[in-house]
Amino acid sequence: MAIEHEYFGLIETDNGSISWNDTVELGDQSVTVDLSAPFEADVEAAALDAAAMLVRALEGMDIAARNAMVAELDSRTSEVTEYILQQEDRLGDDLEDFLVDISGDTPIDVIRSLSLVSLTVLLDEFDSDEPFAILEYIIDVDAPDEALLVNFGSDGTIQSIASADR
């Protein structure tokens, strides 16, 4: 079977599950966009429309995500603070090599320097309390397992920020 959508085109299904991916350009970054759902029957047309809207609004989502990260710097126990400390520990003096701008405020410099690598949309979580869209950020392309994940609801609001140490 397959689903056709105005923005995404023909979305193939495999044993009833949906999986679609593409790459979009955001400034000088290539961002992987993945759509998925375990069961095609769980995917509403509105979920695909919301996913298309999020892809179109990726730049705004990125700005909102980075602003949310900055807001979490006030807490020494936040996932963002922990991620930055982990990167400082791991990279030491080499951290400066990964920064696009060195202002003297290392946490802010790290957030500015994070690469947005993917947008994952969980189509079956549309209108639920679980994350619908996840932006994945990394500082070091050679350590993609150490990431910050910003979780969005289907209404485009940020639900949480988590670190992923896979």
pLDDT, tens only, 24-57: 999 888 999 999 999 888 888 999 999 999 999 9
Report DSSP letters for 11-41, one per residue.
Answer: EEEETTEEEEEEEEEETTEEEEEEEEES-GG
Is residue 12 over pLDDT 90?
no
Residue 57 CA to chain centroid, in angstroms? 13
pLDDT given at position 13: 83
The model carries a pTM of 0.93
Whether the pLDDT of residue 166 is over 60: the answer is no
User: 9: how many CB neighbours lie within 10 A of its CB?
Assistant: 11
Q: How far apart are CA 61 and CA 89, in angstroms?
A: 29
How does the average pLDDT of the chain come out, rounded? 92
* 142 pLDDT tier (thresholds 50, 70, 90): confident
- Determine what percent of the chain is predicted with pLDDT higher than 70: 98
When pLDDT is cut at 50, 70 and 90, the band that residue 99 belongs to is very high
- pLDDT value at position 40? 83
The alpha carbon of 143 is separated from its chain's Cα centroid by a whole number of angstroms, namely: 16
